[in-house]
Chains A and B, each alone.
Chain A
Amino acid sequence: MDQLFFAAEVFLNGLMTGVMYSLVALGFVLIFKASGVFNYAQGVLALFAALTLVGIQQGQVPFAHLINAIFGTHVESFGWTLPSIAAIALTVLVMIGLAILIETLVLKHLVGQEPIILFMATIGLAYFLEGLGDVMWGADIKTLDVGLPQGISDSVEAVTAEWFGYGFFIDRLDIWATMIAALLVAALVAFSQYTKQGRAMRAVADDHQAALSVGISLRFIWIMVWSIAGFVALVAGIMWGTKSGVQFSLSLIALKALPVLMLGGFTSIPGAIVGGLIIGVGEKLFEFWVGPLVGGATENWFAYVLALLFLVFRPQGLFGEKIIERV
């Protein structure tokens, strides 16, 4: 019986991890739908956002390391600590600025190139941003604290212990993350369904040329979409950064989001969410049951192999648009 409860706990934790994956996958889907760019840099975007947030919050001098190396000075910090809200607002501005830069410096010049070229460009972008984040804010592991509650939730443990005689261990941060992610998804869906800009975004996703011909500015939409993706990256960065510190490994969540996308389909927002949940639960349960037999750490590849096997039977993913090929 205990074993069963334990499995249920693993299941719940997997579900919450899955929400985090969905959050990252969502950023991918938004950009892919609106511009056909498969943005490998999404994970690094999350890392960059989290680094920037910590840097602004703690009043670090950007490029301090570089400035010190060139001029031989010892500047480190402005010596202030901003409140979380102000720091988040400033970081959002930075991410919007970054979106504008990416659009004008990179994407504008690659319009009409093959999708795979654009994909490789975002890999280059990922390397650049990774280096930039480190040069700007330093590569040491930082703790991020914007006031989200952390630690095992006592109330959940107490209530479940009373009901089932088995206390579930669930991190309060995970509960918060799930709620925030759900809120974010709802807001994004509402935005794309009920606002003028959201409709324009969907029009661009549907057909670039038709959208242009009815007077929608492609460049504005792209900047907007990258800004939204930057914002989603910031939210993901805050969650993961609070959980396990802001460090390089944070950018690897992009690699976790890729199989989520394959499973759910690159073009579907519901797909990103359902895919994230399936992968989150699947890898935790697999690690729980099969992991000990084969030496553990199966989380690294399980998601990929699952997605790969799935794709062999359904090449467009769960909710993806049917792939029609013509000569």
Chain B
Amino acid sequence: MIYREAGDFKTGYREDGQTFPIRLDRWAYYALIAVAVLVVPFVIDDYWASAVILPFLIYSIAAIGLNILTGYAGQVSLGTGGFMAVGAYAVYKLMTAFPEISIVIHILLAGGITALVGMLFGLPSLRIKGFYLAVATLAAQFFLVWLFNKVPWFYNYSASGQITAPTRTVLGEAVTGPAASAPAKYLICLGFVFVLAWLARNLTRGTLGRKWMAIRDMDIAAEIIGVNPLTAKLSAFAVSSFFVGIAGALLFAVYLGAAEVGEAFGINKSFLVLFMIIIGGLGSIFGSFAGAAFLVLMPVFLKNLMTGGLGWPTDLAAHVELMIVGAMIVIFLIAEPHGIARLWALAKEKLRLWPFPH
């Protein structure tokens, strides 16, 4: 009754091919943007920003990045944590070396540097496939973390081995460092999410995205019909790492403020982002958001329930949480291998007929 496309006529290919072809969806999207820009910054407080909203936004970027590589181009990567570390350390070096240049440019450059590193570690993908590649990307994970731990130049010879973000401003508002306010942090992350999601959506439905999907579905067949595996795979690694690098830069500079590489960008980060795209839906931009939201919200919810509601000790709650996350992964893979994105699509299909299904 409420979700209808009757009377929604399209008179051109452009209208037919748009991201939200149904008018109601479009309005909902505009409303969401309006709320995100006009309402949330005025009501956000430090708890919500640091517990839910900032991690959600930042992990969304990382999940979109990994989804481009794994969901669209079919190259499974377990090196996400390592690439996030590249972004974080790149932005740290840039911030401290060129303090007069805007942090936005630094974050973009950090993404670019990560893209180069990603392409380097993507080179073996031309020879290695499937599991072998998944395991090979672990080489990137372990090597990069070790590198940032052992070479003092990367953390500016600080005694603790940590990197700490200095205060930097955008339009006169501090966005990094201890002085940054929750709305400022939120808005800069939102800006990056908005632009990058738009970019990802349009890349994946264009020529490049189709090449990626052809490689994913069957790389030999794709090669025969004229898709160059070298450019397709390396561009997937580059674009994916660009996103992941920006996520890492934001995670360190805006969200954490200080980071130690083994703890902040260890292999668990790689698995976390991988779980996000599995639960959210492989090969779907919406799925990346849904998966990130799910895996950011669920621990907060479980923690409040078990330690706050039931009064369990925190270590027990953490272990039960591990079990639940693991079980969720398996259940999702069995029940709906295409993740929340597919559930959402099915729900919309049902809703279009509701309440008169015949």
Contact = CB atoms under 8 A, between A and B. Distances in A.
Interface of A: 38, 65-66, 69-70, 106, 109-110, 113, 115-117, 119-121, 123-132, 134-135, 139, 255, 258-259, 261-262, 266, 294-298, 300-301, 304-305, 307-308, 311-312, 315, 317, 323, 325-327
B224 A130 contact: no
A261 B316 contact: no
Most B Cβ at <10 Å: residue of A117, A124, A325: A124
A317 B135 CA distance: 13
Contacts of A258: 135, 138
Contacts of B321: 131
Contacts of B132: 262, 266, 311, 315, 317
A308 B139 contact: yes
Interface in B95-153: 124, 127-132, 134-136, 138-139, 142-143, 145-146, 149-151
Given A127-B271, A261-B135, 13 more contacts: A117-B333, A123-B271, A126-B326, A127-B323, A128-B322, A131-B319, A131-B321, A266-B132, A297-B149, A300-B146, A307-B135, A315-B128, A323-B129
Interface residues of B, number: 50
Contacts of A110: 333-334
B274 A120 contact: yes
B76 interface: yes
Given A106-B334, A297-B150, A301-B146, A128 B274 contact: no
B312 interface: yes
B128 A131 contact: no
Which secondary structure dominates chain B's binding surface?
helix
A214 to B, nearest CB: 29
Contacts of B33: none
Given A113-B337, A127-B326, A327 B139 contact: no
Contacts of A65: 313, 316
A304 B139 contact: yes
Interface string B220-235: 1100100000000000
Nearest to B82: A301
**Chain A interface, >50% SS class:** helix
B31 interface: no
A311 B136 contact: yes
Interface of B: 76, 124, 127-132, 134-136, 138-139, 142-143, 145-146, 149-151, 218, 220-221, 224, 267, 271, 274-275, 278, 310-313, 315-316, 319-330, 333-334, 337
A126 B127 CA distance: 29
Contacts of A315: 127-129, 132
A294 B153 CA distance: 13
B333 A301 contact: no
Contact of B131 (A38, A70, A106, A129): A38
Nearest to A295: B150
Contacts of B278: 120
Contacts of B143: 301, 304-305
15 contacts: A106-B334, A115-B130, A119-B76, A119-B134, A124-B329, A128-B322, A128-B323, A128-B330, A294-B150, A297-B146, A304-B142, A304-B143, A305-B139, A323-B129, A327-B221
A135 B313 CA distance: 12
Contact of A300 (B130, B142, B315): B142
B294 to A, nearest CB: 14
Contacts of A308: 124, 128, 136, 139
Contacts of A294: 150
Contacts of A128: 322-323, 326-327, 330
Nearest to A306: B139
A183 to B, nearest CB: 29
